[in-house]
Every structure is written in C-alpha cells, then in structure tokens.
C-alpha cells in the first residue's frame, strides 16, 4: 500500500513513480540548490518526488507504509539516537527501498544503519549519485516485496502448522490419560500372588492393554491383548476390547466365573459383530489362576505363547495359543490349557513388541526391526527369581533401556509376570490378615 502523504506537497509533476523525500532543508543549507538538482536528476530517469516532514513520516500510523515507494531521508547533524532508532524501525518494518543521508562526522549513524541493512551515504553524495542509488533500489523493490509476501505467507503457514501440532499434542496427551484410566493403577496387590509388570507404549498411546482382577477369594484373572497396528486406532481398539471382555456371569453371590476359552469366544463375537469395512483385529491371552490349587487355566487368541519358568529345573515351557485372532471370524471356538505352577515358578505373558526389543549389536536400522529370539532368554531370566520378582523386572527394564534404538522403540512393549507367593509369604499374609481382623474386633 502506498503511503498516505498527509502534510506533503508535490514538487515534481512527473507521471512516473514517486520518491518520498524528507529533510531537504538540511542538505540545502550545506549544499545550496542540492534538492533542485536532485529533482532534475530524478526527472531524467522518470521519477517524481513528494516531500514530507521527518516528524510526520515517523509518527504516521502503523498501517501506513512506505514499502512501495523509494524514499530518501536526510538526517540533521543533531539527530538524536531516538530519532535514528525510529527511522531504522520504520524502514526495517516496511522493507522500504530507502537511502539515508547523514553527517559524515556522525559515524554511529552509519554503523546503526548498516547493521539493519539500510543504505546509508554521507551528505557529500552528489544529487546524481543519490538519484542513481534510488533508481537501483526502486528496481529491486518489487522482488523484495514478493519475497516479503512469500515469507509472511510461510510464517502464517508455519504458525498454523505449529498450532495444529500443539493441538494434536494436547489431544494425544488426553488420549493417553484416558487409556491409562483403563489400566490397573500400579501393581495390584492380590493375596497369594506376586506380580511384575512392564508397560511401555511406543508413542503417546499404546496398542497393548492388560487387566488384572481378583475374581473371588481364590481366583484371579490376568488378561493381555495387543491390537494390530499402532497409535490412536490401535489404542481405541484396546478400549473396545477391555469393555467387551466379560469375566463373570451374573453379579454378587450368584456370579459365576467364565472359563478363559468361553470369555475369548464371547469377546471375539462382540468384536466380529461390530467390525467395519476396515479390518481391526487383535491377539490376546487370558488366564484364571486358582491359588488354592496353584493351577492356571490359559486361553489364547493368536498371541505369542505364554512362558512358564520352572524354578526346580530352570527350564522354560511354552504354552501356545489355541485360537485364532480376535475380530476376524465369528462363532469360532477357543481352546484352553491348564498348567500347575509349583512354588517358585513364574508365568509370563508378553506382547510381540518384545520380539524386536533386543536387536543384535551389529544390526543396522532396518535389521533392528526384525524379530530375534533373544527376548525369550531375557524374559525367562527375569522369571527365574520369584523371591525377588520386582527386582528382576527392574533389571529387565534397565536392559530394555540399554538397547540400541530404545528411545524410539518400534512397537509397544508389555509383559506380565505372575508367580504364586512362597509359603513364607503366604504365612506372612495370613498373619497380617489375622492381625487386621483382631484390630477390627477391638
């Protein structure tokens, strides 16, 4: 937008572009007739001139712009630093094609102007040279204005993208907070059972979900599912899964515990019934542990096999899934297996993120995403010390941290470690319960 020249007068009737001029009285006092010769030089190159008082130029409204017209500003020798600063600010904001002329004794002015990229010449400059400088500046000004416009559009786009990224960041944090509400708070305390948990989402939200529930005085349920995919879609799927898993028929004293295979059959039917055109499926392991018999009944749906680490022999047994993936076909049957856990044995459920959690040392970025068998030994090692299960799990987590690429893990990582409490622990639990009952009676 061209500058609105209030308080100006036309000193040249040229039909060509206009030069905004200020401070000619200063240079005319030093070089009489300088402004007339300058106007003549401008006329020969097709430029006219409008003059404006310096104070009017500096105090013009912010909306006023000199960016479309070349300008010549002649500073008096007694110009204050404040005036110099205001001139620099106005020219810098508008990206004006400007020539500032100054008293050569005031070297500070030249330093200030050059620091802002503003053309600055002494008062000894001839009218012809000044006119040529302005002509050159005027010729390059359209290109500068286009660049400035492109820069402003880019800044607007960047600001818009940053705003959307910040909004997405906030929404993902909210989604992660909501998902955590569907997980057990910390490690649940179940009398007669020692537990260890590793839960590491690959991003804000996880496609893994687990649940631990005490069903009655003796039996507890353990569930781990892995929705296929990553990010928000997989996380939403986990919430559908947790809401669709039924562990009990009925309520209160008349409730009946649903067998793991039947629970997965019902969950699969629910997911299959509500499936859309886009296939959404998951793997899962579900187990019910009875501490009175130390038996655990396990059913799987296309999930990596459960591990049973035997305390007496140190061997690791695998309990394979006996059912298909959840959410693909309705009305399919799921098998289940009952395993007896001896004192010191540890049952391990884990998601397939562990398959890529321990890459080989020499692997490149691509190779690190391929499954290895190292994880079985690592999980088994963590399950060999049931007396110090929490410490063993912490060691495993430390090992995860040490792996190459652990800050950008390729998949969600979840593991549940389940161990019957030792006889000593059971006796201690019984003593604590007895003391609590005695205190309650008092």
Point out which residues pair with 300 in neighbouring strands. 285
pLDDT at residue number 360: 63
Residue 435 vs residue 69, higher pLDDT: 69
Contacts of 329 (CB under 8 A, 6+ apart): 268, 272
Q: How much of the chain is helix, strand and coil, in % rounded to 5?
A: 45, 20, 35
**176-206 burial, b for 16+ CB within 10 Å, e for fewer?**
beebeeebeeeeeebbbbbbbbbbbbbbbbb
62-66, 99-103, 189-193, 289-293: which range is least confident on average? 62-66
Closest to 145 in 3D by CA, of 96, 98, 92: 96
Residue 3 has pLDDT above 80, yes or no: no
Contacts of 382 (CB under 8 A, 6+ apart): 196, 348, 392, 393, 395, 396, 417
Return the top range by mean pLDDT from 11-20, 155-164, 179-188.
155-164
Q: What is the rounded average pLDDT for all residues in the chain?
A: 81
- Residue pair 271/327 in contact by the 8 Å Cβ criterion: yes
Under DSSP, is residue 142 helix (H, G, I), strand (E, B) or coil?
A: helix
Residue 343 has pLDDT above 80, yes or no: yes
Kindly write down the DSSP assignment for every residue of 317-342, as one continuous string. EEE---S--BTSSSS----EEEEEPP
Residue 364 has pLDDT above 90, yes or no: no
- Residue pair 335/326 in contact by the 8 Å Cβ criterion: no
Quote the CA–CA distance of 324 and 302 in Å, as a whole number. Answer: 5
CATH of domain 9-152: 3.40.50.2300
Give percent above pLDDT 70 in the chain: 82
pLDDT tens string 160-187: 888 888 888 787 787 777 777 777 777 7
Query: How is residue 433 annotated by DSSP?
Result: H
- The token duo for 340 is 């007896």
| Residue 31: Cβ-neighbour burial (10 angstroms; 0-12, 13-18, 19+) | middle
- The token duo for 439 is 């205190």
pLDDT at residue number 362: 55
Residue 380 vs residue 386, higher pLDDT: 380
Give percent above pLDDT 90 in the chain: 29
Residue 430 has pLDDT above 60, yes or no: no
Residue 94 has pLDDT above 90, yes or no: no
Average pLDDT of the residues in 404-420: 78
Residue 247 sits at the vertex; the CA angle it makes with 245 and 249, to the nearest 5 degrees, is: 115
pLDDT at residue number 367: 52
pLDDT band at 442 (very low <50, low <70, confident <90, very high): very low
Domain topology for 183-441: Phosphatase 2c; domain 1 (3.60.40)
pLDDT at residue number 365: 55
- The token duo for 29 is 């006092």
Quote the CA–CA distance of 108 and 67 in Å, as a whole number. Answer: 25
| Residue 21: Cβ-neighbour burial (10 angstroms; 0-12, 13-18, 19+) | buried
pLDDT band at 332 (very low <50, low <70, confident <90, very high): very high
pLDDT at residue number 432: 41
Query: How is residue 193 annotated by DSSP?
Result: E
In the chain, where the domains are located = 9-152, 183-441
pLDDT tens string 314-326: 899 999 988 999 9
Closest to 415 in 3D by CA, of 357, 348, 368: 348
pLDDT tens string 221-279: 999 999 987 778 888 888 889 888 999 998 777 889 999 999 999 999 998 887 666 66
Closest to 207 in 3D by CA, of 296, 299, 326, 324: 326
Closest to 73 in 3D by CA, of 95, 93, 97: 97
2-11, 45-54, 100-109, 199-208: which range is least confident on average? 2-11
pLDDT at residue number 67: 52
pLDDT at residue number 9: 45
CB atoms within 10 A of CB 441: 6
Residue 104 vs residue 182, higher pLDDT: 104
| Residue 101: Cβ-neighbour burial (10 angstroms; 0-12, 13-18, 19+) | buried
Output phi, psi for 283, to 5 deg: -110, 160
- Residue pair 138/97 in contact by the 8 Å Cβ criterion: yes
Quote the CA–CA distance of 264 and 285 in Å, as a whole number. Answer: 9
Average pLDDT of the residues in 380-387: 69
Average pLDDT of the residues in 139-159: 82
Q: Is the pTM of this model over 0.85?
A: no
The Cα-based distances of 217 to 220, 247, 382 in angstroms read 8, 15, 28
């Amino acid at each position: 937008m061209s500058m609105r020249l209030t308080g100006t007068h036309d000193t040249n009737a040229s039909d060509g572009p206009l030069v905004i001029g200020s401070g000619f009285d200063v240079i005319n006092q030093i070089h009489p007739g300088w402004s007339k010769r300058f106007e003549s030089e401008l006329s020969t190159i097709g430029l006219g001139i409008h003059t404006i008082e310096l104070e009017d130029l500096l105090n013009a409204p912010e909306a006023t712009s000199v960016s479309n017209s070349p300008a010549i500003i002649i500073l008096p020798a007694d110009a204050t630093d404040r005036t110099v600063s205001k001139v620099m600010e106005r020219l810098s904001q508008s990206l004006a094609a400007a020539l500032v002329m100054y008293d050569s004794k005031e070297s500070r002015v030249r330093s200030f102007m050059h620091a802002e990229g503003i053309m600055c010449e002494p008062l000894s400059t001839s009218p012809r040279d000044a006119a040529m400088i302005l002509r050159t500046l005027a010729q390059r000004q359209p290109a500068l204005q286009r660049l400035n416009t492109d820069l402003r559009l880019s800044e607007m786009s960047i600001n818009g993208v940053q705003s959307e990224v910040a909004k997405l960041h906030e929404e993902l944090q909210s989604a992660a907070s909501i998902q955590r509400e569907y997980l057990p708070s910390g490690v649940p305390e179940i009398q007669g059972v020692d537990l260890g948990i590793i839960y590491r989402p690959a991003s804000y939200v996880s496609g893994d979900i687990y649940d631990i529930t005490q069903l009655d005085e003796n039996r507890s349920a353990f569930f781990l599912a892995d929705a296929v995919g990553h990010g928000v879609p997989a996380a939403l799927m986990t919430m559908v899964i947790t809401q669709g898993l039924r562990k009990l028929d009925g309520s209160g004293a008349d409730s009946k515990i649903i067998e793991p295979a039947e629970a997965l059959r019902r969950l699969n039917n629910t997911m299959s019934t509500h499936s859309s055109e886009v296939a959404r499926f998951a793997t899962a392991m579900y187990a019910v542990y009875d501490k009175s018999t130390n038996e655990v009944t396990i059913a799987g749906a296309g999930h990596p096999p459960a591990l049973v680490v035997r305390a007496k022999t140190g061997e690791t047994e695998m309990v394979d899934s006996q059912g298909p993936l959840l959410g693909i076909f309705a009305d399919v049957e799921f098998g289940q297996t009952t395993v007896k856990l001896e004192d010191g044995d540890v049952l391990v459920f884990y998601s397939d993120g562990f398959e890529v959690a321990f890459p080989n040392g020499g692997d490149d970025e691509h190779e690190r995403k391929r499954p290895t068998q190292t994880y079985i030994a690592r999980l088994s090692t963590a399950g060999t010390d049931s007396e110090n299960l929490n410490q063993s799990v912490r060691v495993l987590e430390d090992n995860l941290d040490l792996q190459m690429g652990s800050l950008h893990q390729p998949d969600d990582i979840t593991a549940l470690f389940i161990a019957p409490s030792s006889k000593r622990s059971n006796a201690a639990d019984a003593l604590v319960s007895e003391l609590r009952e005695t205190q309650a009676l008092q």
